[in-house]
Amino acid sequence: MAARLKTAVLGATGYSGLELTRLLAKHPRVDTPLQLRRDANGAKSEASSDGFPSVPWNGHSAAEPFSWAKLEQQDVKVLFLATPHEVSRELVPEAIARGLRVVDLSGAWRLKQDENRAVYGFKDADAAMAAKLTEQAVYGLPELNADRICSAALIANPGCYATSVILALAPLMSADFVDRSRGIISDSKSGVSGAGKEPTARTHFVTVANNLSAYSVFGHRHTGEILEQLKLEACQLIFTPHLLPIPRGILSTIYVSLNREMTAVEVESCFCDFYGGKRWVRVLPASNLPQIIFSLHTNYCDLGFCLADDGRRLVLVSCLDNLLKGAAGQAVQNMNLMYGWSEEEGLQ
């Protein structure tokens, strides 16, 4: 058997980083990943190691402080960044310069358009670097961009909400069945792990339990990704996220007007044709809708739809696990493509 790939995960103590570490540790073609943390967060990381599942006896080693020397010494080839976008922005230029391939789970390099990128705090001084790396970066949605992912040095791993919305809309958009002039609405709902591990008033159990709330209406950072990937204008999409009282999982209910009267069979065909042979998207029969628990703890994105009697109004439902297909699982799927392996390696 060939030597196993050496990888490192920076930010291994967050929810996505832990999930990614767990996946890589089981991956048949990859060595146990180097688990790293930024020095600055040392104290905090220590504290968070009290909790599940990073306690040492639970099979997780404590994350070590990050250094380029360590990466070189261990012959690391792929660096996964499960860090805030500020950290990604700081480290990626050097990582690329050193010849590492990078899969960045933050939003730093997902957006080509300056006005969208502003939400990640890019300033004028960053413009040249941002432009260059954004140019290089490939939006890591394997079902859409597999060809470019294969040879990419820098993968911008998509946002969890964005993945659920883009995968639901791509087949219809690609076939030009959508009447953009009537607007597309995605009413999306996510579990709390999507808000990160930082304890805040918003993530306190007593605030979330028995509750539901909408937030960031007309202003969520994932909106830009959806617009760019689907070539929509801002006025053609409303994206409304909600915080669900569950730990993980996303369900997006998406409302679309069709260009012409269609039958349910035609719509189903459109999806099945587009995703035929794709390992990690499941299309349900017409009028069957996925639920969050169907794809929980898997790398699947599940898609279903209901078509109105008039054949023009379509309700799409898209479900996935925000820590897997919406983050760590997709990162592994991208790595698989980058090394010419089957997309399902390490994800079954």
Q: List the one residue from 40, 42, 46, 51 that touches a copy of itself (CB under 8 A).
A: 51
> Which among 274, 227, 47 has a CA at the least distance from the CA of 119?
227
CA–CA distance, 246 with 189 (Å, rounded to integer): 10
Shorter beta-carbon distance to a copy of itself: residue 3 or 206: 206
Q: List the one residue from 74, 174, 203, 269 that touches a copy of itself (CB under 8 A).
A: 203
Shortest Cβ 71–a copy of itself spacing (Å)? 28
> Which among 60, 62, 98 has a CA at the least distance from the CA of 79?
98
Shorter beta-carbon distance to a copy of itself: residue 145 or 295: 295
Q: List the one residue from 174, 257, 259, 269 that touches a copy of itself (CB under 8 A).
A: 257
CA–CA distance, 88 with 22 (Å, rounded to integer): 21
Shorter beta-carbon distance to a copy of itself: residue 12 or 100: 12
Shortest Cβ 184–a copy of itself spacing (Å)? 11
Q: List the one residue from 4, 46, 47, 261 that touches a copy of itself (CB under 8 A).
A: 47
| Sheet of strand 7-10: strand arrangement | 64-65, 34-37, 7-10, 78-81, 101-104, 154-156, 138-139
Distances in whole angstroms, Cα of residue 107 to Cα of each of 137, 146, 298, 333: 11, 19, 23, 18
Shorter beta-carbon distance to a copy of itself: residue 38 or 189: 189
Token pair recorded at residue 290: 């996925």
Contacting residues for 3 by C-beta, under 8 A, at least 6 apart: none
Residues in 266-295 at the binding interface with a copy of itself, rule: CB under 8 A: 282, 284-285, 287-289, 291-294
Selected catalytic residue, list 160, 270, 301, 319: 160
The strand pairing partners of 277, in sequence order, are none
| Number of residues in contact with a copy of itself under rule CB under 8 A | 73
The strand pairing partners of 188, in sequence order, are 241, 252
Shortest Cβ 74–a copy of itself spacing (Å)? 25
| Buried/exposed 313-331: b ≥16 CB within 10 Å, e otherwise | ebebbbbbbbbbbbbbbbb
Q: Does 179 bind a copy of itself (CB under 8 A)?
A: no
- State yes or no: is 306 an active-site residue: no
Residue indicated by tokens 């959806």: 226
Shortest Cβ 3–a copy of itself spacing (Å)? 22
Shorter beta-carbon distance to a copy of itself: residue 80 or 305: 305
Q: Does 226 bind a copy of itself (CB under 8 A)?
A: no
Residues in 295-314 at the binding interface with a copy of itself, rule: CB under 8 A: 296-297, 306, 308-310, 313
Residues serving a catalytic function are 160
